[in-house]
Structure 1
Amino acid sequence: MAKHFNGKRILVTGGCQGIGYGIATELWKQGANVVALSNQKESLQKLHKEYPSIEVVCVDLRDWAKTKAAVDALGIFDGLVNNAGIAKTEPFLECTPEYFDETITVNTKAVVNVSQIVAKKMIQNKIKGSIVNISSQASKAALRDHTAYCASKAAVDSITRVMALELGQFGIRTNTVNPTVVMTDLGRAVWAEQSKKQAMLSKIPLGRFGEVSEVVNAVLFLLSEQASMISGVHLAVDGGFLAL
């Protein structure tokens, strides 16, 4: 396999489970020096045991100050994937301020916090880097019982466009990948109930959910020099969901 990321140092938040695990390990296979950041200590330890050369960092993204200190101590990166996120379901009329705040903190504020630190060091070291933020089809289409989640991902899309506008002068590209339901272990469990599954599948023209590898491929493309003129876009990996 060609090693497109040979020698590149890349930070992946939420990099020890699901899509993040897929991104981190595929980057490693393609020659990158990967740092995986998460608050899931056991999953990080498991990842490090499987891939000893992947550096792991345990920090809770909900804590702005501790996250800033941890990321700052990691040094310089050529690329960043803001993948960490949470998603709980609450009907609009029952959406609580506590969950709304937590969702915005993890899914949105953490993107700003981590990206500020990484981008500043890219600029200081004249690195023409790439930042990919994992968003969702929920940023552009309403999903029942997903008030906080939809709001958080719509904000990620908007923030990404501003990042592309302001960081472009330094040669830093910023994009999002916006997946549909993805068949991680969690995704398979959440969407196992047939009526719920079929209701969502009926809205996807390709008639199936996404696989982790399909999201990983999109992320690695946007990180790579193959996407050297792409910035400020929202790449849907949704089987046509947003085309309806």
Structure 2
Amino acid sequence: MEISFVSKRVLVTGAGKGIGRALAKRLANYGAEVVAVSRSKEGLDSLAAETKNIKTICVDLSDWDATRKAIKSAGPIDCLVNNAAYASLESFLDVKPENFDMMRLHEITRKSVINVSQVVVEGMIQRKKGGSIVNISSQASQAALADHTVYCGTKGALDMVSRVMALELGPHNIRVNCVNPTVVLTDMGRLGWSKPEKANPMLAKIPLGRFAEVDEVVDAVVYLLSDKASMINGVTLPIDGGFLGT
């Protein structure tokens, strides 16, 4: 199956590292003009130096107005990947008033999806050419994980926001889907899950017996963005080796 993004402009948030960085490079290799968004100028500069057809925008997505201005400056967008995220872990009993600042950051993560998408979608509707959006969620949206109280709640909310987006934007030929990975072996993922006492209980619940590689998530996102997935809308796609299905 040949997938091409020639003549497509794709905006990817959280593109300075990890999944977002790998995705931006893959899309550029498939012919897309990529708009890479991150709050890390260093990450964006190195990404642009490595790959052609990439425009970079450095902005803190927690700033509502600055974000809208920055995304509008990107010009017309055909596809959007909301990948930027923040994670902090605490158990249910440890969620206290002093944790509200961390919970607020989770709220910002979700709000940024709505904020960025609103700006991009307004342009899609005006041009009447449709489009595709993929939101990066998690298996934690559908499975209770210890010490993930706020994280699970935030990702569960993102799934539902995505479904409503799919419902309301579908008549404009704009598709909205989620991918829901298990632990992904980014540099941070390898560091965070390197200890057997932490990793083994999770691995025991994954029928394939391993965590996801970055390219395996990128493959799914690229497919959902592409015209090959033209009738797929409103799904939450697990990339978890069977964790949620067994």
Q: Which bin holds the TM-score, normalised by the shorter protein?
A: over 0.9
Q: Which residue number in structure 2 is paired with residue 14 of structure 1?
A: 14
Q: Partner of 1:80: helix, strand, or coil?
A: strand
Same amino acid, percent of matched pairs: 54
CA offsets per residue over residues 134-189 of structure 1, 9 Å max, x none? 00000001111111111111111001100010000010000000000011000000
- 1-side partners of 2:68 and 2:153: how far apart? 24
Cα contact 1:22–1:213 (8 A) shared by 2: yes
TM norm structure 2: 0.96
- In the TM superposition, residue 53 of structure 1 has moved relative to its aligned partner by 2.8
Q: Contact 2:3/2:228 (CA < 8 Å) preserved in 1? A: no
Tell me the amino acid that sits aligned with residue 105 of structure 2: E
Separation (CA, whole Å) in 1 of partners of 2:216 and 2:206 = 15
Q: Where does residue 94 of structure 1 map in the other structure?
A: 94
Q: Which residue of 1 aligns with 2:143?
A: 141
**Other-structure match for 2:81:** 81
Distance 1:243 1:2 in 2: 29
Q: Aligned equivalents of 1:237 and 1:53: distance in 2?
A: 28
Aligned counterpart for 1:103 among listed residues 102, 106, 109? 106
Aligned to 1:58: 58
- Does the CA-based 8 Å contact 1:136-1:177 persist in structure 2? yes
Q: Please tell me whether the aligned partners of residues 24 and 34 of structure 2 are also in contact (alpha carbons under 8 angstroms).
A: yes
Distance 1:148 1:68 in 2: 26
For the Cα contact (< 8 Å) 1:9–1:32, is it kept in 2? Answer: yes
Quote the offset at 1:45 in angstroms. Answer: 1.0
Distance, in Å, in 1 between the alignment partners of 2:94 and 2:52 is 44
Which string of whole-angstrom CA distances, capped at 9 and with x for unpartnered residues, describes residues 44-94 of structure 1? 111111124311110001111110111011111000000010112112222
2:232 to 230, 233, 236: 230
Q: Which runs of 5+ in 1 are unaligned?
A: none
| AA matched with 1:128 | G
1-structure distance, mates of 2:105, 2:191: 23
Q: What corresponds to 1:117 in structure 2?
A: 119
Rounded Cα–Cα distance in structure 1 between residues aligned with 2:52 and 2:211: 32
Q: State the shift of 1:2 in Å.
A: 5.0
Aligned to 1:206: 208
1:78 and 1:181 map into 2 onto residues whose CA distance is 29
| Range moving further from structure 2, 234-243 or 85-94 | 85-94
Q: What's the C-alpha RMSD, in Å, of the aligned pairs?
A: 1.1
Structure 1 CA distance, aligned partners of 2:37 and 2:206?
32
C-alpha separation in 1, matches of 2:2 and 2:208: 30
Is contact 2:12-2:37 (8 Å) kept?
yes
Contact 2:134 2:177 (8 Å CA) reproduced: yes
The gaps in structure 2 that reach 5 residues or longer are none
Contact 1:12-1:81 within 8 A present in 2 as well: yes
Cα offset for 1:242?
0.5
Q: Give distance in 1, aligned partners of 2:9 and 2:87.
A: 29
SS of equivalent to 2:90: coil
**Aligned counterparts of 1:99 and 1:10: Cα–Cα separation in 2:** 30
Does the 8 Å contact 2:3/2:226 carry over to 1? no
Structure 1 consecutive aligned stretches of length 4 or more whose deviation exceeds 4 Å: none
Q: Secondary structure at the match of 1:235?
A: strand
Contact 1:2–1:30, Cα closer than 8 Å, also in 2:
no
